[in-house]
């Protein structure tokens, strides 16, 4: 087993603490609990003029480092740009401290949507990943990048990337809280549920959920007004069967301002479904998104939102009464365990099998 430490920038201290709590429950790590816990390893100083310096409090020579970080909304209330600069300083400090393999674990990459190469615009994700590798990061782990092509931005001979398919967490949550038994899946869910994409580009993701549970697929075709940001002209619903009386699940990787799902929910209303739900990986909810979601819920148009905790806001469940949060720290702990014990990662990438899980529940199916 590798000699390793789990630590974090200020933006992810509480999350890293949860990961440490989970991993030290595993029998092989219990005797090394104190050595693994490096949550308080780093100290960030800010000078009067706003410049920053990150200091390592103890020796890390030769130890492999798992650094949790996040540049979106976070526990320390640090802005995106400051969080990025702190991350870059932290990596520099770890390299100067002669740490071993440096793994950056960023559950949600806030710049992941900036992944389209255009002649006269920057590509935020490329800038972020290029900076990390230039500073000496060996391994980058995240949950559900915005697009598969993003993984090609890293040269694997320099830095390996693992984009973990954490939708398994959401699918397991549906099984645990709404299905519970194989008979319910076969006799109720497959007849009365349907999974809907937010737009044509999200069809692949919605189809994955539909295939997992053997339910129908609904595709929303969204027409944007590209002269204005976050503006949608119309939404057309494509379905092979009537949606009246069905429980619909809108599937997406993230919700930011909520504009797309709001327009979609109003379009679905005309089809008279039994209820409409949203299931997402990253709950960004910028601006007035929380207010909009509550309004839809109060109007009876939105039943619930299921989302992971990759984007921090402990009070979010209070701000949005219909929100149900799925924790991810246990999965993060298992990923680290697999790496340091050289166990296969293939189980983490397997397609989720709802039937198998309902008959023999297991995190990794």
User: Could you tell me the two tokens for 321?
Assistant: 């009464």
pLDDT at 319 over 80: no
Rg, Å, the chain Cα set:
21
Pick the closest to residue 246 from 195, 181, 309 (CA basis): 195
Q: Is 67 helix (H, G, I), strand (E, B) or coil?
A: strand
Average pLDDT over residues 314-328: 80
Q: What is the mean pLDDT of residues 32-57?
A: 94
With bands split at pLDDT 50, 70 and 90, how would you rate the model's confidence at 11? Answer: very high
Asked if residue 93 has pLDDT above 50, the reply is yes
Average pLDDT over residues 273-288: 93
Give the pair of three-digit tokens for residue 118: 């255009």
Which band of pLDDT confidence, cut at 50, 70 and 90, is reported for residue 73? confident
Mean pLDDT of 229-241: 69
Please, which pLDDT band fits residue 317 given cuts at 50, 70 and 90?
low
Lowest mean pLDDT among 102-116, 178-192, 216-230: 216-230
Local confidence band at 226 (pLDDT 50, 70, 90 cut-offs): very low
**Full-prediction pTM beyond 0.85?**
yes
The whole-angstrom separation of Cα 13 and Cα 19 is 10
Computed over every residue of the chain, the mean pLDDT equals: 90
Which of 210, 183, 166 is closest to 355 using CA atoms?
A: 183
Percent of the chain with pLDDT over 70: 94
Mapped onto helix, strand or coil, the DSSP state of residue 187 is helix
Q: Which of 79-93, 157-171, 210-224 bottoms out in mean pLDDT, i.e. has the lowest? A: 210-224
The residue to which tokens 């401290």 are assigned: 97
The two tokens of residue 271 are 């089809």
Higher pLDDT, 222 or 279: 279
Q: What is the mean pLDDT of residues 322-328?
A: 93
Q: Indicate if the pLDDT at residue 70 is higher than 50.
A: yes
Confidence of residue 361 (pLDDT cuts 50, 70, 90): confident
Lowest-pLDDT choice from 62-76, 93-107, 134-148, 315-329? 315-329
116-120, 226-230, 231-235, 352-356: least confidently modelled range? 226-230
DSSP letters along 191-237, please?
A: HHEEEEESSGGGHHHHHHHHHHHT--EEEEEEEE-TTSTT-EEEEEE
Mean pLDDT on 285-289: 88
Q: Which carries the bigger pLDDT value, residue 29 or residue 75?
A: 29
What are the start and end residues of each CATH 3.40.50.2020 domain in the chain? 4-166+330-349, 167-326
Over residues 31-59, the mean pLDDT reads 94
pLDDT of residue 89: 98
Q: What CA–CA distance (Å, rounded) separates 222 from 260?
A: 8
The tokens of 236 are what? 């057309």
Flag the least confident range among 117-121, 206-210, 232-236: 232-236
- Identify the residue whose tokens are 């071993």: 100
CATH topology of domain 4-166+330-349: Rossmann fold (3.40.50)
Residue 227 has pLDDT above 60, yes or no: no
Share of residues in the chain with pLDDT > 90 (%): 72
pLDDT at 234 over 80: no
pLDDT score recorded for residue 314: 62
| Confidence at residue 365, expressed as pLDDT on a 0 to 100 scale | 58
Q: What is the pLDDT of residue 116?
A: 80
Indicate whether 124 pLDDT > 60.
Answer: yes
How, if at all, do strands 232-239 and 217-224 pair? antiparallel
Fold of the 167-326 domain: Rossmann fold (3.40.50)
To the nearest 10°, the Cα dihedral for 213, 219, 225, 231? -30
- Looking at residue 117, the DSSP 8-state letter turns out to be -
Query: Could you read off the pLDDT of 250-262 as tens digits, one per residue?
Result: 999 999 988 889 9
């Amino acid at each position: 087993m590798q000699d390793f430490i789990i630590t974090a920038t200020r933006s992810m201290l509480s999350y890293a603490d949860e990961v440490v709590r989970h991993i030290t429950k595993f029998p092989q790590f219990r005797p090394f609990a104190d050595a693994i816990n490096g949550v308080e390893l780093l100290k960030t100083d800010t000078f009067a003029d706003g410049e920053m310096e990150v200091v390592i409090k103890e020796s890390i020579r030769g130890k492999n480092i798992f650094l949790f970080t996040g540049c979106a909304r976070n526990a320390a209330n640090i802005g995106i740009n400051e969080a990025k600069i702190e991350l870059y300083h932290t990596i520099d400090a770890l390299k100067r401290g002669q740490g071993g393999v440096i793994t950056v674990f960023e559950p949600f990459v806030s710049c992941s949507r900036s992944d389209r190469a255009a002649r006269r615009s920057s590509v935020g994700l490329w800038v972020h990943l290029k900076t990390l590798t230039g500073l000496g990061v060996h391994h980058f782990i995240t949950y559900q990048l915005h697009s598969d092509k993003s993984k090609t931005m890293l040269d694997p001979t320099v830095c390996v990337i693992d984009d973990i398919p954490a939708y398994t967490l959401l699918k397991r949550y549906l099984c645990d809280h709404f299905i519970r038994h194989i008979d319910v899946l076969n006799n109720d869910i497959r007849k009365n549920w349907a999974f809907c994409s937010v737009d044509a580009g999200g069809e692949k993701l919605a189809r994955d959920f539909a295939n997992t549970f053997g339910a129908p697929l609904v595709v929303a075709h969204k027409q944007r007004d590209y002269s204005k940001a976050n503006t949608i002209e119309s939404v057309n619903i494509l379905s092979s069967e009537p949606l009246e009386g069905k429980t619909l699940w809108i599937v997406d990787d993230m919700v930011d301002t909520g504009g797309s799902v709001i327009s979609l929910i109003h379009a679905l209303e005309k089809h008279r479904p039994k209820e409409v739900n949203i299931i997402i990986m990253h709950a960004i909810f910028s601006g007035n998104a929380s207010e909009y979601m509550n309004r839809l819920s109060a109007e009876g148009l939105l039943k619930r939102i299921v989302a992971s905790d990759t984007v921090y806001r402990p009070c979010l469940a209070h701000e949005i009464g219909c929100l149900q949060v799925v924790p991810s720290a246990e999965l993060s702990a298992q990923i680290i365990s697999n790496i340091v014990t050289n166990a296969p990662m293939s189980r983490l990438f397997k397609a989720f099998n709802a039937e198998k899980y309902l008959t023999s529940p297991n995190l990794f199916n």
